[in-house]
């Protein structure tokens, strides 16, 4: 394994860790809500809104993003390009879930 691959793996696993940390924080409904609906809402809307479904939506999406980075990191470490095929359903699930849950939360 070359130095470039090691650095890449460390970086990708770090991104997976950050995404996983954000997912856990959002499942616990702690910290700043990283959700477009909340970010672009006015101050009055933020005070009145029920944040629980938005925290859950963000938590699930961050968990799926963490999974994608874990798969990418494992693919780099194990030098197995076939693992990258697992990213396709994970990315599709993240996109579909984000879209459907956004429609449901509106």
pLDDT tens for residues 23-34?
Answer: 999 999 999 999
**Residue 97's pLDDT band (cuts 50, 70, 90):** very high
- What is the residue range of 75's domain? 3-105
Residue 67 confidence (pLDDT): 96
pTM: 0.89
Segment 64-70 mean pLDDT: 96
68 and 87 Cβ atoms separated by less than 8 Å: yes
Query: Does the pLDDT value for residue 72 go beyond 80?
Result: yes
Query: Does the pLDDT value for residue 65 go beyond 90?
Result: yes
Cα separation, 72 vs 5, whole angstroms? 12
Q: Number of structural domains, the chain? A: 1
């Amino acid at each position: 394994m070359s130095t470039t691959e090691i650095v890449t793996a460390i970086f990708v696993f770090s991104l997976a860790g950050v995404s996983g940390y954000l997912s856990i924080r959002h499942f616990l409904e702690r910290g700043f809500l990283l959700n477009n609906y909340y970010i672009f809402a006015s101050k009055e809307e933020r005070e009145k809104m029920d944040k629980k479904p938005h925290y859950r939506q963000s938590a699930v999406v961050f968990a799926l993003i963490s999974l994608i980075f874990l798969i990418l990191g494992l693919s780099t470490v194990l030098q197995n390009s076939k693992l990258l095929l697992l990213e396709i359903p994970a990315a599709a699930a993240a996109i579909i879930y984000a879209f459907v849950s956004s429609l449901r939360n509106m």
